[in-house]
Amino acid sequence: MNTSPVFSPTPVRWRAAQTLVAYPDAVAEMEARAAAVFDGDARELVWTLEHPALYTAGTSAQTEDLIMPDRFPVYKSGRGGQYTYHGPGQLVGYFMLDLRARGRDVRAF
């Protein structure tokens, strides 16, 4: 098995948000960008940002595990895990990469 890294011929674009980004807006933008990258219509992107205070509920999240469910908005996400807090002061990085150009192996990347 070839474990050497594969590099995309076009450099990845980096973007840093200057204001808080609402979670639904970030998801919509990431889905659109990922589709455009897949179709070859946009460059890969690493996007750093902060969200307003919220929880994301992963696929293992159980409603009864959230102690104060009305404290912050809760958004279901397709990632694994339970609940994750996001909020001002916490920098989040989202990667929209074409793994076909990287050997289809996120661990090697």
pLDDT in tens, 71-90: 999 999 988 899 999 999 99
User: Mind listing the pLDDT tens digit for each residue in 8-44?
Assistant: 567 899 999 999 999 999 999 999 999 999 999 999 9
DSSP letter for 105, please.
Answer: -
Which neighbouring-strand residues pair with 63? none
The amino acid sitting at 12 is V
Query: What is the pLDDT, as a whole number, of residue 57?
Result: 96
> What pLDDT shows up at residue 104?
78
Q: What is the DSSP letter of 16?
A: E
Query: Distance from CA of residue 58 to its chain's centroid?
Result: 13
Whole-model pTM: value is 0.83
The predicted structure's pLDDT at residue 10? 79
